[in-house]
Amino acid sequence: MSAEEPAGVPAFQDADLMHVTDLLAGPERERYMRVREFLQSSVRDQSIGYWNREEFPLALVSELGRQGLGALQLDGSSILLKGLMYVELARADVSLSALAGIHNELIVGMISQLGSEEQKRRWLPGLRDFSALGAFALTEPDHGSDISRALGTTAARDGAHWILNGAKRWIGAGTIADFALVWARDTADGGIKGFLVETDRPGYQATKISNKIGLRIMQNADISLADVRIPAANLLPGATRFAAAQGLLRDSRAWVGWQAAGIQLAAFDLARSYSLARNQFGRKLAGFQLVQQQLADILGNASASLALMVELARIQESGKLEMAQAAMAKATTTRLARASVAMGRSLLGGNGISADYGMGKLFGDAEILYTYEGSFEVNSLLVGRAVTGISAFTESG
């Protein structure tokens, strides 16, 4: 029991009211607890300064590598453990959870599943411990949700090389990555294909996107590709059709749901600690009815999000996960996350506006979760199409 808590009231520190972590097998639970302790003690508070400065924390990322968080896609972890690791990463810092999630679900996942043996030998060892970084370059300045239909970046075969031209936007780690996994349309057959483009090649230019309201640690970039020449061997042999990437893109959409649960647990942690420590009108803030209601609502939203994601993990383990399920999970959990951090910000009053108290940081980061990997609206329409059989994306339906 902490000094701020009244006698006779049990401490409730980990916020796992529904005992979700008990679902992990013994060794995985032990690993989870070690990583959670590391993230809370060595990452959470330290991330605030980096967030305020929009600075990438290379030292913290190296520590994530030493904790094995760069190899979650390769080390045999259960889907539930991977998900709970993303929860704890987001609970400590959403930007770093985004980096680890994109790294595992998209970069490592695609090279492991769709890459050549040479590409695996070259890149996977460094990716495992974060000594190498990749960027996933799909979104373009004029196309986000409609990218599979309207992708404009081109790749033209020229003998033993490919020549890439185009532009990408909102590319995480684009300014610091060793390579970018670039999706481009083959000018010969019109198909969308995946290419590994080393970022030091002539014609590749990445410019940091600054002044974001959230995910400020993640170095999102505008990327231009001007006659970038790469060897033919840089084409991912398993990614000669965009459909080959759909399963991994579906899984990455589900991954955001774990992040949304994590940011809500972070909001609960901060709101609970603040309300127990702060006195107003001669009594602890935690003793006011409206404060307790907000704490209960935040934890209720977080627990509902976690329960939904645990069920999604079960479906994913069975091999039955579909895009509509991933979209529903992403839309629902990020909607709840937005509500939870808003309550947390309100509970901290004026101090909730400042990132230095943590809650303002969460408030901004929640907006990014609500929007990326398919906006809330687009994911809602994917669910709507699944339950009605009518598409809202085209006039013909």
> What DSSP letter does each residue of 116-132 carry, written as one string?
-HHHHHHHHHHHHTTSS
Within the chain, where are the H helices?
A: 26-42, 46-53, 58-66, 79-92, 94-101, 109-114, 117-128, 147-150, 246-277, 289-317, 323-347, 359-371, 376-388
Are the C-beta atoms of residues 212 and 51 closer than 8 Å to each other? no
Residue showing tokens 């329409």? 381
The pLDDT value given to residue 252:
83
CA-CA-CA-CA torsion sign (124, 83, 193, 205)? negative
The contacts of residue 133 (CB under 8 Å, 6+ apart) are: 103, 127, 173, 176, 177, 178
Domains of the chain in sequence order: 20-128 (1.10.540.10), 134-240 (2.40.110.10), 244-388 (1.20.140.10)
pLDDT score recorded for residue 13: 62
Residues 295-324 have a mean pLDDT of 96
| Average pLDDT score, the chain | 93
pLDDT, greater one: 67 or 143: 67
pLDDT over 70 (residue 283): yes
Determine the Cα–Cα distance for residues 261 and 302; give it in Å rounded to an integer.
5
pLDDT one-digit tens code per residue, 175-191: 999 999 999 999 999 99
Structure-token pair, residue 284: 């602890």
- The pLDDT assigned to 6 comes to 45
Query: Do residues 214 and 362 touch, judged by C-beta distance below 8 A?
Result: no
Q: What are phi and psi of 393, to 5 degrees?
A: -90, -15
Residue 11 has pLDDT above 70, yes or no: no
Residues 6+ apart with CB under 8 A from 30: none
pLDDT value of residue 246: 82
- 379 contacts: CB under 8 Å, gap ≥ 6: 253, 327, 328, 330, 331
182's tokens: 């670039």
Is the model's pLDDT at 305 over the cut of 70? Answer: yes
Portion of the chain with pLDDT greater than 90, in percent? 87
Q: Look at residue 113 and give its three-state secondary structure.
A: helix
Check: CB of residue 156 under 8 Å from CB of residue 193.
no
CA atoms within 13 A on the CB side of 195: 29
Q: Which amino acid is at 302?
A: A
Calpha distance 13→11 (Å, rounded):
6
Tell me which residue has tokens 């992403």. Answer: 330
Q: Is 52 exposed, middle or buried (0-12, 13-18, 19+ CB in 10 A)?
A: middle
Residue 219's pLDDT is what?
96
Bridge partner residues of 168 (DSSP): 223
Between CA 366 and CA 90 the distance in angstroms is 10
247 and 278 in contact (C-beta within 8 Å)?
A: no
Q: What is the predicted pLDDT for the residue at 2?
A: 40
pLDDT digits (tens, 9 = 90+) for 150-159: 899 999 999 9
Give SS3 for 175: coil
Lowest-confidence segment of 60-69, 137-146, 153-162, 356-365 by average pLDDT: 137-146
- Whether pLDDT at 5 is above 70: no
Give this prediction's pTM. 0.93
Give 94-146 pLDDT, tens digit per residue: 999 999 999 999 999 999 999 999 999 999 999 999 999 999 999 999 987 78
DSSP letters for 230-263: EEGGGB-TT-SSGGGGHHHHHHHHHHHHHHHHHH
- DSSP 8-state class, residue 288: S
Say which residues have a Cβ less than 8 Å from residue 26's Cβ, sequence separation at least 6. none
- Tell whether the model's pLDDT for residue 397 goes beyond 80: no
Burial code of 12-30, b = ≥16 C-beta within 10 A, e = fewer? eeebeeeebbebbeeebee
